[in-house]
Amino acid sequence: MNYTKGEWKNVGREQYNGYAGYCITLDKRFSIDDIAIIPTHYKNAEANANLIAAAPDMYRELRAADNELCYKCKDKCESHEEFCSPHLSRMKAINKAEGEDNENQIT
For residue range 29-62, what is the model confidence (pLDDT) as tens digits? 655 566 788 888 889 999 999 998 898 888 889 8
Q: Is 26 exposed, middle or buried (0-12, 13-18, 19+ CB in 10 A)?
A: middle
DSSP label at 29?
T
Per-residue CA distances from 2 to 25, 56, 61, 75 (Å): 17, 11, 16, 32
Determine the straight-line distance between the first and last CA of the chain, rounded to whole angstroms: 15
For range 68-72, the mean pLDDT: 72
Q: What is the CA radius of gyration of the chain?
A: 18
The number of beta carbons lying within 10 Å of the beta carbon of residue 35 is 19
This prediction's pTM: 0.69
Whole-number Å distance between alpha carbons of 42 and 13: 13
pLDDT tens profile 76-94: 666 655 556 777 788 888 8
The proportion of the chain whose per-residue pLDDT surpasses 70, expressed as a percent, equals 65
Band (102; pLDDT cuts 50, 70, 90): low
